Structure 1
Amino acid sequence: MGTRVFTTAAEAVADIDDGATIAVGGFGLCGIPDALIDALRESGVGNLEVFSNNCGVDDHGLGILLGAKQISRVTASYVGENKEFARQYLSGELEVELTPQGTLAERLRAGGAGIPAFFTPAGVGTPVADGGLPWRYAADGSVAVASPPKETREFGDKRYVMELGISADFALVHAVRGDTAGNLVFDKTALNFNPLAAMAGKVTIAQVEELVPAGELDPAQVHLPGVFVQRIVNTGPQNKRIEKRTVTATQGVSA
């Protein structure tokens, strides 16, 4: 199946239904598919299960879906600067599977490559492997759902834990450039989780800042081939935000 070009983000996500699993690219607020996320917010779809490095901030990115109670479960590396994410998790409104960042990246890559599981040393000897991490809390603060123990195995003289690959119904990604065949080019830090999320989606939807005809991109500069991308929409330049601004006052200059 080739890549289909859509006119608007709303049209591109129109068939994402309640209960869908979605892999979302980006790191912090860098390279997030903000237009596609906004379109999901407007659609009102709910009970979504999201795989993403983090969950945006309270008023931007995936945080707006959290605030609207459209997400029921998140697999992520950290809570980040999102207070609502932490509140929903600790109050039992949201199920959260926290996983080491490198493990999450490899789980997405493995799922996209058709690898059902793999062994890694990350997490061996901790609750990541032994189980017991709180996935969902009860209203009284007790643990309602805990992570199960995972299979471990020795290779040589080291022990490893088995992690499952991630495959999602849809993937939402952001690229700086793309062509009508779905080939994508990412910018700097946006290159980390976006290609991995795109690989993990059965249907991958890419928003691009610039869309060019097929054949115009230098093949040597393409970061993700169009075989992984089913839909593409030109949303123009991204509304870039800084997740957390930290400044140091200069001597003799008031803040």
Structure 2
Amino acid sequence: MEPDNAERDPLPKTPDPLADWLEEPGSTAPGRSSWLPILAIVVCVALLSGAAYALVKLRKHPAPGSGLTAGQTALASPGSAWARDFPVSTKADLDGVCRGWYYPQSPAATGPAPHPITVTVLDNAFKMRLQPLSVHVPDGVKKQFRDAWQPADLAKVQIVACVDLVGSGKPLGKCSFTSPKVTTVPFVEGIYQITAYEVATGRKLTEARVIGAEECPLVALVPADDVLHSEVSDRQLYDKLHALVER
């Protein structure tokens, strides 16, 4: 005979954790878990607000003690540059100008010439920026302007010129090397973008595209694609940038 359960209490039901999410809108009784989505939204808004505040703090300028007004450090385009709160002291600091950094404690590229400049070239083989040991300027250039192309004090540099390979032109022949073994590499025109920025503000001062005029180098690191590009000559750099340095 089967037991008679008619008079017994029914077994308790286990609450469904998804019930609140599946009910019709407005059907959830007060005091239940309908506040969870609202809490999640509030937390997300708070996190986004905090991130925005941190971003504003990072973009703070001018740097303390720079002596520059906010107007003097206005960006050429919003989000294109980031103020550093320390003075320039290394070549790597100046290379950073090509990545959008700027240094409000550096002197502005205004007032009487010369305006010291540093050239930095992106090496495509190593994917790093390199600064030439020197930039040869034409004969007859005044010593004060000549010295401005190779500043002794990096903290006084006012302009950084970024040179970047942006394309290939027509074939120019081949370059031959004898060490470590005899090698012949295709030689093509290198198309470069030259962009000059003011160190103190990140403001773009000028830009130009040129086809590298240099011939086959004596020594070269052959890239993976086995193609060498003609490089920008010192004379080309001078022709495109001397007005910024000498006026």
More relative contact order, 1 or 2 (CA 8 Å, 6+ apart) = 1
**Could you state the TM-score of these two structures normalised by the residue count of structure 2?**
0.21
Greater C-alpha radius of gyration = 2
